[in-house]
């Protein structure tokens, strides 16, 4: 229903609508002052963008969720919205071990050319962002404030780094200050941008469980890291695992589930942005590279499929790793760049 249809209903069928009298008498007029302020914000810097739903840069995965945001404000690289991403969320009052896990998972995923998406909150979120930044990967921070509002203040350094290593994203207009009701709302964007959501630490009333529930409703994967049965911060993760979330011990556990989805996402991206194919003859060790999948592939499988001697395979796999085509993971190798 567009604005004009709603206006007509308000004028001719007022009593048929279950709306308060104050709204029935209100004129439906856009706030042009707010619109002008947003446009001025967009023009004030090269890395400021406003993306509407029909914009080619609007993330395809986000379009598929119920109630996708009609508009996104982005501060940073628009290209950071393209790679497949994994959400990492968890407790604000995380343990030292939880912070280290979030950092390591963020760093490894970033090193595999997967974007890391989180909410820039204290605790797990901030550690996951920092790990991805330190790997040279792309990270996405979805805020419950305007994109120009740093919250919490202690994350100013992370906020600044993300703009050159990813993107700050919000559906709220610039200048919007922290409000408790906005943070659960933004969680649907964190899970909606991602192929899957990893919960590192969460108590039973954690906001991270809202993100996990939304991921399930959106048809996305949910992962959880187990902990001690005595730790309150692990109870939420254990409940998720009981309900069907995948127990995760390392990044390979995540790659195993999302590798096929990554292929589909990248194929959609290529079609929507008219990305051309690379000439297969330009690929280094093309036959060997074809033996490595986007999930963990054991070295003996690579040797068998390639038909080469193991000494030559190891030498060429090292070269492919140095060129950024593959990465060493528990269990073998994984392909991290499409041909």
Identify how many contiguous H helices and E strands the chain contains and give both numbers. 14, 11
- Distance, CA of 190 to CA of 185 (rounded, Å): 10
Mean pLDDT score, 254-261 = 81
The string of pLDDT tens digits covering residues 54-69 is 898 999 999 999 989 9
Burial letters 212-231, b for 16+ CB under 10 A, else e = bbbbbebebbbbbbebeeeb
User: Which domains, from first to last, does the chain contain?
Assistant: 1-30 (no CATH), 60-258 (3.40.50.450), 278-335 (1.10.10.10)
For residue 2, pLDDT over 60 is answered with no
pLDDT at 25: 60
| Lowest mean per-residue pLDDT among 35-39, 129-133, 188-192, 303-307 | 303-307
Contact assessment for residue 92 and residue 188, using Cβ atoms and an 8 Å cutoff: no
pLDDT at 278: 42
Instruction: Provide the pLDDT confidence category of residue 212 given band limits of 50, 70 and 90.
Output: very high
pLDDT at 320: 85
For residue 124, pLDDT over 50 is answered with yes
Q: Which two tokens stand for residue 219?
A: 């048809």
Contact assessment for residue 188 and residue 214, using Cβ atoms and an 8 Å cutoff: yes
The structure's pTM equals: 0.73
The string of pLDDT tens digits covering residues 10-39 is 455 545 445 566 655 666 667 778 888 888
CA proximity to 175, closest of 133, 143, 145:
145
């Amino acid at each position: 229903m567009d604005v004009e249809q709603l206006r007509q209903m308000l004028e001719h069928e007022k009593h048929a609508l279950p709306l308060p009298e104050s709204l029935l008498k209100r004129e439906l007029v856009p706030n042009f002052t707010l619109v002008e302020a947003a446009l001025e914000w967009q023009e004030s810097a090269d890395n400021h963008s406003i993306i509407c739903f029909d914009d080619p840069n609007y993330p395809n995965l986000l379009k598929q969720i119920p109630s996708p945001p009609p508009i996104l404000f982005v501060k940073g690289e628009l290209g950071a919205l393209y790679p497949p991403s994994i959400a990492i969320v968890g407790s604000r009052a995380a343990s030292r071990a939880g912070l280290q896990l979030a950092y390591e998972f963020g760093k490894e995923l970033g090193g595999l050319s997967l974007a890391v998406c989180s909410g820039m909150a204290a605790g797990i979120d901030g550690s996951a962002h920092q790990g991805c930044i330190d790997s040279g990967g792309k990270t996405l921070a979805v805020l419950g404030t305007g994109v120009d509002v740093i919250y919490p203040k202690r994350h100013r350094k992370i906020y600044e780094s993300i703009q050159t290593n990813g993107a700050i994203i919000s559906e709220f207009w610039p200048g919007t200050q922290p409000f408790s009701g906005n943070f659960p709302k933004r969680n649907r964007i964190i899970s909606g941008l991602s192929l899957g959501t990893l919960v590192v630490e969460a108590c039973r009333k954690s906001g991270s469980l809202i993100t996990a529930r939304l991921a399930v409703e959106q048809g996305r994967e949910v992962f959880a890291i187990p902990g001690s049965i005595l730790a309150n911060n692990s109870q939420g993760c254990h409940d998720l695992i009981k309900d069907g979330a995948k127990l995760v011990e390392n990044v390979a556990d995540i790659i195993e589930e999302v590798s096929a989805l990554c292929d589909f996402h990248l194929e959609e991206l290529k079609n929507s942005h008219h990305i051309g194919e690379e000439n297969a003859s330009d690929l280094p060790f093309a036959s060997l590279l074809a033996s490595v999948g986007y999930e963990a592939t054991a070295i003996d499988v690579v040797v068998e499929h390639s038909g080469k001697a193991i000494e030559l395979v190891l030498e060429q796999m090292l070269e492919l790793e140095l060129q950024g085509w593959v990465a060493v993971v528990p269990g073998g190798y994984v392909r991290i760049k499409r041909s």
